[in-house]
Structure 1
Amino acid sequence: MLENKLGINNSAELAEAEERLTKQRAIELYDTGQIDKIPVGTYQGLSEIHYALFQDIYDFAGELRTENLAKGNFRFAPVLYLPEAIKAVDELPQNSYREIIAKYVEMNILHPFREGNGRSSRIWLDQMLKASLGKVVDWSKIPKDDYLLAMERSPVKDIEIKALIADALTDRTKSRAVFMKGLDQSYAYEGYQVYSSSELTKSSGKRKRFKK
C-alpha cells in the first residue's frame, strides 16, 4: 500500500478516502474554471491536473515517478528514459483526432506518475479534444471492459481505442452533467465506485486553491 498524507494503513480505507478527496478536487477543478487555465496537451498540464486531484493524498502528487512500474505483463517506460520520452510526447502534434488519440496512447505508455495516471490523463485527453476539435468524451458511453481491453492493446494497435472514443464524442463541452457522469465512469474504470459525483458536490467545501 502507498504511503499517504492521511496516515491510513488499510488499503480499503485508503481507496475510499482517495476516491472521495480526488473526486471532490476534480469537481472543484471544473467548477472553478481552473481546468481551462491548465496547459493543453503537455506533460506540464498533465502534472498540474495530477497535482490538483491528488494533493490531499500523496506527497508525489504532480511529480514524475522514480521507480519502474508494470501492469500484468506490460512494463511502462523505464524511469531512466522518462524525461526524454516526455519531451518527445510533448512535441507530438494534437491538431486532428488521430493525432490526439495517438498522443494520449503514448502518454499512457509512459505512465509518468506512481498512481492516478488513468484518472488524470482522461481529463488531459478531454482538454486536448475540446481545444482542437470542440469535442469532449462522454465517458459514460464507453463500457469498462471495452475501454480497458482497448487500452491494453493500444501500445501495439490503437484502432480499437480510436473507434471507442470516436463513438462517444460529444460537442457538449460546457455540460457539467457530461463532465460529472464522465468523472464517475473514469473512476469506475479503476474500480472506484463508492461515491457519486453528485453526492460529493453537496459535501464539497471551500479549500485551498490548486497551486503546484
Structure 2
Amino acid sequence: TVMGLQQIHSYLFGGLYDFAGKIRTKNIAKGGFQFAMVQYLPTSLSTIERMPETTFDEIMDKYVEMNVAHPFMEGNGRSTRIWLDMMLKRSLKLCVDWSKVGKSEYMDAMVASVVDSASIKNLIRPALTDRITDREMFMKGIDYSYYYEEE
C-alpha cells in the first residue's frame, strides 16, 4: 500500500528528513524527467495502490508506476526497492538478490521503464531468490539500494 511505502520511508529517513514518510507537496524532476505533478499525485497514488500484485509482471508494473509517481522529495528509490521486495515476498514468496543487479544496468532499465517495462523485468527476473527469510539477503539488499543512489 501507499501507507506501507510511507512507513518504509519514515523508518529509513526518520532521523534525517523532517518530511520522512510524508507525500511530497512540490513538483520534482530528475535528469530532465518530470515526475507526477503534485496536483495529480493523490489520484496517481490511489490508482497505483489499486493495481493488482499477484504475478511478477503485475508487481513490476506497480513498481514502475510508483517510480514515475515518485511520492517523496528524497529517498524514493531506496524506499520503493524495499517495497518491491515486500510485494514479491507476500505474493510470490520471492525477493530480489540485489547483488545480481548491476548499478548502471538497473539505472538504465529504470529510465527505460517509463516507456517500456520489459528491460527492468528482464533485469530483475533472473535475480529473484526464494531466500525471503534470510537476514543477510535483506541487509545486502539495503546496502545495494544505497549503492545505487551514490553518484
- Provide TM-score, normalisation by structure 1: 0.70
Which residue is 2:10 aligned to? 51
Which residue is 1:94 aligned to? 53
Q: Structure 2 CA distance, aligned partners of 1:178 and 1:85?
A: 31
Which residue is 1:85 aligned to? 44
Question: Which letter does structure 2 place at the counterpart of 1:173?
Answer: I
- Cα deviation, 1:25-60, whole Å, max 9, x if unaligned, reads xxxxxxxxxxxxxxxxx1010001000111101110
> SS at the partner of 2:142?
helix
Are 2:25 and 1:66 equivalent residues in the alignment?
yes
Are 2:117 and 1:117 equivalent residues in the alignment?
no
- Aligned-pair identity in percent equals 55
Select the structure that is richer in helix. Answer: 2
How far the C-alpha of 1:183 sits from its partner, in A, is 1.3
- Identify the match of residue 182 of structure 1 among 109, 127, 141: 141
Q: Look at both structures and tell me which one has the larger radius of gyration over its CA atoms.
A: 1
Are 2:121 and 1:162 equivalent residues in the alignment?
yes
Q: Structure 2 CA distance, aligned partners of 1:153 and 1:73?
A: 14
How far the C-alpha of 1:63 sits from its partner, in A, is 0.4
Are 2:34 and 1:75 equivalent residues in the alignment?
yes
How far the C-alpha of 1:179 sits from its partner, in A, is 1.2
Q: Structure 2 CA distance, aligned partners of 1:57 and 1:95?
A: 34
How far the C-alpha of 1:149 sits from its partner, in A, is 0.2
Question: Which letter does structure 2 place at the counterpart of 1:139?
Answer: W
Question: Which letter does structure 2 place at the counterpart of 1:85?
Answer: S
> SS at the partner of 2:116?
coil
Q: Counterparts of 1:136-151 in structure 2 under 5 Å?
A: 136-151=95-110
Q: Structure 1 CA distance, aligned partners of 2:85 and 2:43?
A: 24
Q: Structure 1 CA distance, aligned partners of 2:143 and 2:73?
A: 21
Deviates more, 1:175-184 or 1:103-112: 175-184
Q: Structure 2 CA distance, aligned partners of 1:122 and 1:170?
A: 15
Q: Structure 1 CA distance, aligned partners of 2:86 and 2:93?
A: 9
- Cα deviation, 1:60-89, whole Å, max 9, x if unaligned, reads 000010111111121100001000110000
Question: Which letter does structure 1 place at the counterpart of 2:102?
Answer: P
How far the C-alpha of 1:178 sits from its partner, in A, is 0.9
How far the C-alpha of 1:184 sits from its partner, in A, is 1.1
> SS at the partner of 2:20?
coil
How far the C-alpha of 1:163 sits from its partner, in A, is 0.7
